[in-house]
Amino acid sequence: MAMMEVQGGPSLGQTCVLIVVFTVLLQSLCVAVTYVYFTNELKQMQDKYSKSGIACFLKEDDSYWDPNDEDSMNSPCWQVKWQLRQLVRKMILRTSEETISTVQEKQQNISPLVRERGPQRVAAHITGTRGRSNTLSSPNSKNEKALGHKINSWESSRSGHSFLSNLHLRNGELVIHEKGFYYIYSQTYFRFQEEIKENTKNDKQMVQYIYKYTSYPDPILLMKSARNSCWSKDAEYGLYSIYQGGIFELKENDRIFVSVTNEHLIDMDHEASFFGAFLVG
């Protein structure tokens, strides 16, 4: 009987196997439950923070943040909003500064490029030229209402001696492009080298005129300077110069020119006879 009862019960090996299987199943169940629990919690947290972040921009989060409250300062949503506000404020300030600068430049009619280069120079200095057959005009030309003979030929591009800057030279006349007050000046050089005849009076009247043309048909006299000289009959030559200058208001498309008497005495040396003008205001 005893032998039969022992043979009918589970052996020790089988019991161990059952215990191991049960333990594995229990651990698997615990892992599965834990996985499901944490997955659910993570999903809830993700939905919560995602909604909170979107609420920061959609204004769905109406909670009040106190700047003096440390918890409020540490709120991710509050930090995002604060950084965004600082960025928008910085961009607005920069745009305002650029707009104000652009408006001021337009009011002054000065482009950034011109402002970097500085104000444009409006000036001209033209000099006499030798070897020109048409240096002086005929007294019976279209300038017949102007006294003397107009000097037609001036040198405007001789390096180191003459130049044009925002003024134009045409037929011996400087053409004005910008309205304003100009200092106008001119010097003419007279050289006497004629043979003296006996019992002849050797006196010469030298006059220099500066005229301007406007919309008015006749030229307008601006300045004149004269010199009356009597050369000695024993002198081989005589040298005299006349200089004059003054400030005048000129308008756009006005033209100024120089005329002289005794044109055959004029020496058009580039260092002695010249004509010019520059804007002073």
Neighbour tally for 264: CB within 10 Å: 9
CA distance 114 to 108: 11
Report domain extents, the chain: 20-52, 123-134+143-196+203-279
Model confidence pLDDT, tens digit, residues 66-109: 555 666 556 666 766 777 777 788 888 878 777 776 666 666 65
The CATH code belonging to domain 123-134+143-196+203-279 is 2.60.120.40
Tokens representing residue 276 in the block: 């010019």
Give me the pLDDT at residue 55, please: 60
CA distance 173 to 143: 12
Q: 219's torsion region: left (phi>0), alpha (psi -120 to 50) or beta?
A: beta
| Sheet of 274-279, strands arranged across | 163-165, 123-127, 274-279, 180-192, 238-250
CA distance 236 to 193: 6
CA distance 160 to 138: 31
CA distance 253 to 213: 9
Contacts 24+ apart (CB under 8 A), 200-203: 201/230, 202/230, 202/231, 202/232, 202/233, 203/228, 203/229, 203/230, 203/231
Annotated binding-site residue? 56 = no
Whether the CB-CB separation of 193 and 237 falls below 8 Å is answered with yes
pLDDT (tens, 9 = 90+) of the chain, 281 residues, equals: 444 444 556 677 778 888 888 888 888 888 888 888 878 777 776 666 555 555 665 555 555 555 556 665 566 667 667 777 777 888 888 787 777 766 666 666 555 554 455 567 899 999 998 754 456 665 544 455 788 999 998 998 877 789 999 999 999 999 999 999 999 999 998 887 655 454 455 557 889 999 999 999 899 999 999 887 665 666 666 788 899 999 999 999 999 999 999 888 888 888 889 999 999 98
CA distance 55 to 81: 11
Three-class HEC string of the chain? CHHHHHHHCCCHHHHHHHHHHHHHHHHHHHHHHHHHHHHHHHHHHHHHHHHHHHHHHHCCCCCCCCCCCHHHHCCHHHHHHHHHHHHHHHHHHHHHHHHHHHHHHHHCCCCHHHHHHCCCCCEEEEECCCCCCCCECCCCCCCCCCCCEEECCCECCCCCCCEEECCEEECCEEECCCCEEEEEEEEEEEEECCCCCCCCCCEEEEEEEEEEECCCCCCEEEEEEEEEEECCCCCCCEEEEEEEEEEEEECCCCEEEEEECCHHHECCCCCCCEEEEEECC
Give me the pLDDT at residue 3, please: 43
| Tokens 């040298």 -> residue | 239
